Amino acid sequence: MKTNRDEYTAYNMWLQRGRRPDLPHFDVEGPDTCYFALRECLEGLERLNGTCKPAGSANAGVKLNIDKTLPPEGYRIDGGTQVVTINGADTNGLLYGVFAFLSELGRGGSYNQLSLSSAPAVSRRVINHWDNMTGAVERGYSGKSLFYRDNAFSYNPERIKDYARFLASVGINQLSINNVNVTAVSARLITEDLLPEVSKLAAIFRPYGIRLIISIDFESPKSLGRLETADPLDPSVERYWREAAELVYRHVPDLAGFLVKADSEFRGGPASIGRTQADGANVIARALAPFGGTVYWRCFVYNCTQDWRDTVTDRPKAAFENFYPLDGKFEDNVILQIKNGPSDFQVHEPNSPLFGRMNHTAQASEFQVTQEYTGQQIDLYGLAVQWQEFFDAPVSKDRITRELVGKEITAITAVGSAGDDENWTGGLLAQANLYAFGRLAWDPSLSARQLTEEWIGLTFGPDEALNPLTEMILASRGVYEKYNAPLGIGWMVNPGNHYGPSVDGYEYMKWGTYHRADTVAIGVDRTDKGTNLTAQYDPWVGAVYNSKETCPEGLLLFFHRLPYDYRLRSGKTLIQHIYDTHFEGAEDVEGFIETWDTLRPSLPEAAYQSVRNRLTLQLANAREWRDVVNTYFYRKTGIKDEKGRLIH
Ligand code: GCU
């Protein structure tokens, strides 16, 4: 199919112009209540046609229609030569139907044979912005905040609208607007000072079916309410939250709720005053309940002042220890927001043991689209592969995590990656991760391959010559893993910025992230002979992790402490595996560059160049990891590389 590559701009992400100059002119009609979806449909069709005149064929029609028999936010599309009908359960469903229709066309599909229906797996599909009101974005690699500058709201409304469209086009329907590390300034988002501004922002997102969330400070009763305490059991605190909620909802009646990071990384919380996490979450939840608001209460609670000599405390156990005993003690409108793994967004972790074990509390899985530990949008890293692994992981002998979605898991959330960079996500190929996250939150059964193909088709046009790019993106997680910390052990990054290697960077620090490598062995024993993290899992799952023989090899050093001469399933020793994977990882990146160069004729030149630049940086990073990690272990062990390669 001929697409108009000249109209490509990185800014347009997966909603490129000029993809279908061959389409006829469509008349779009529908009832007044569907006005917004109607306009998006018209604009979308115009976008697909591009500046080219529609090919002279006869007009066709699109009819929009609300069909209340469909599941909430769902849609059904019935194609036809004359008329395509898009039915939506509600205004959101209709909009999603329109975007699904446009996506089919954008990837070269035909409109007359189209027959599609879909509904989201969860009703809350959420992007969390870690934006500070200064304009800096915590763990952001895509420029500055889209919302703030110099401690005030400051944005281009047109750009925010474009952002809302991108998010809606992949099914996102909630967005938190400020960093979970709330500051004295952002705490005021729930006060009269800033609520009029929040309200204006909400109005831009609203037509796209996106409701806002505010990250709040648990200590606000003290800092803003001038109370002596933030004790959730104190009646004055209860009153404070009730009044705060009334005020907030007067300004933003459809606010989705509050997001709370409490008792975490030096932030105040209920534990610091002898109350439980449930006490803390519930007092706020009761205040939001009359307005239909939700409290997203993060489970990222651990001891961040550990001494490395303490071998009893084990950070990955913390979330379970803090929250599992409270299962069933939370108000109905509390959702526990749990990071996908028990550590912290590392390259390869098991799932958090909380998933599947809390049967009486609503949960959200939290991912990171922003690539904090996964290459910072410089290194190519297809996150969908990792997310799919999360949903596929067993929670018991006969149940996988995906089966919890829509049941215990009622929200799917991620820290977003968008900033004010021209291409939104810093690295151009990182757009694929934002796309994939929205689609997966809608339907976690979509495969990483399908999502990658969709994104490539929409972004660069359906073109078989680009098939190697699909393979490259799908391989990228494994490649990154090869040159990073081995076999699930994690960390080994430069402290602070978390990019680049530093094997002992966190080894003697207070954060509880130790690999404990010495001259004979490496790893923390988390089996029943060690810290017994494995006991937090369902017994069947725990037994799989507990044994070196059955533990998935990618997680071997997450759960086991092993000597360097331990034989892996490949027959290689652990140390040789470390050497080999690190040499291979860097070579694989050279391979990425070669592949990318062969794709040049099929790519817009600007896209080719910008990714080429990042791949060059990635290669330098991969080589540095290779050299630093291999040298470290060579010096620790004195064991030579069997292949006699140069280790610096
Ligand atoms: C990580 C990250 C922090 C962030 C924290 C969180 O530790 O490095 O920047 O604040 O996660 O999830 O709250």
Band the pLDDT of 50: cuts 50, 70, 90: confident
Distance 19 CA to ligand 1 centre (A): 39
Taking the C-alpha atoms of residue 537 and residue 25, their distance in angstroms, rounded to an integer, is 57
Query: For residue 648, is pLDDT > 90?
Result: no
Mind listing the pLDDT tens digit for each residue in 93-104?
A: 999 999 999 999
Mind listing the pLDDT tens digit for each residue in 202-235?
A: 999 999 999 999 999 999 999 999 999 999 999 9
DSSP one-letter string for 544-605: HHHSTTTS-GGGHHHH--EETTPBPTTS-BHHHHHHHHHHHHHHHHHHHHHHHHHHGGGS-H
The pLDDT value recorded for residue 647 is 87
- Atom number of ligand 1 nearest to Cα 264: 13
Q: Is the CB of 491 under 6 A from ligand 1?
A: no
Question: Which residues, in sequence order, are CB contacts of 547 under 8 Å at separation 6+?
Answer: 527
The pLDDT value recorded for residue 459 is 97
The pLDDT value recorded for residue 6 is 72
Q: Is the CB of 499 under 6 A from ligand 1?
A: no
- Atom number of ligand 1 nearest to Cα 366: 12
Q: Is the CB of 139 under 6 A from ligand 1?
A: yes
The pLDDT value recorded for residue 5 is 64
Q: Is the CB of 344 under 6 A from ligand 1?
A: yes
Q: Is the CB of 180 under 6 A from ligand 1?
A: yes
Q: For a pocket test of ligand 1, which of 344, 367, 498 has the largest count of ligand atoms closer than 8 A to its C-beta?
A: 344
Could you tell me if 421 and 614 are in contact, meaning their C-beta atoms sit under 8 angstroms apart? no
Q: Domain 124-460 is of which CATH architecture?
A: Alpha-Beta Barrel (3.20)
Query: For residue 146, is pLDDT > 60?
Result: yes
The pLDDT value recorded for residue 80 is 87
**Average pLDDT for residues 168-176, to the nearest whole number?**
98
**Which amino acid residue places its CA nearest to atom 2 of ligand 1?**
139
More confident call, 239 vs 55: 239
Q: Is the CB of 138 under 6 A from ligand 1?
A: yes
Domain assignments of the chain as residue spans, ordered by start: 5-118, 124-460, 483-524+561-637
- Three-state SS for 246? helix
Residue 420 known to be catalytic: no
Mind listing the pLDDT tens digit for each residue in 464-474?
A: 999 999 999 99
Q: What is the mean pLDDT of the chain?
A: 96
CA-only gyration radius of the chain, Å: 25
Q: Is the CB of 261 under 6 A from ligand 1?
A: yes
The pLDDT value recorded for residue 7 is 87
**Which listed residue (192, 265, 565, 605) is catalytic?**
265
Mind listing the pLDDT tens digit for each residue in 66-85?
A: 999 999 999 999 998 889 99
Mind listing the pLDDT tens digit for each residue in 105-130?
A: 999 999 988 999 999 999 999 999 99
Class of the domain covering 5-118: alpha beta
Residue 372 known to be catalytic: yes
The pLDDT value recorded for residue 4 is 60
DSSP one-letter string for 466-488: GHHHHHHHHHHHHHHHHHSSGGG
- Atom number of ligand 1 nearest to Cα 139: 9
The pLDDT value recorded for residue 81 is 83
Distance 513 CA to ligand 1 centre (A): 14
Is this structure's pTM higher than 0.95? yes
Q: Domain 483-524+561-637 is of which CATH architecture?
A: Alpha-Beta Complex (3.90)
Distance 138 CA to ligand 1 centre (A): 8
Query: For residue 54, is pLDDT > 70?
Result: no
Among 19-23, 174-178, 517-521, 583-587, where is mean pLDDT lowest?
Answer: 19-23
**Average pLDDT for residues 483-503, to the nearest whole number?**
97
Distance 523 CA to ligand 1 centre (A): 23
The pLDDT value recorded for residue 53 is 56
Taking the C-alpha atoms of residue 172 and residue 167, their distance in angstroms, rounded to an integer, is 5
Mind listing the pLDDT tens digit for each residue in 388-413?
A: 999 999 999 999 999 999 999 999 99
Q: Is the CB of 516 under 6 A from ligand 1?
A: no
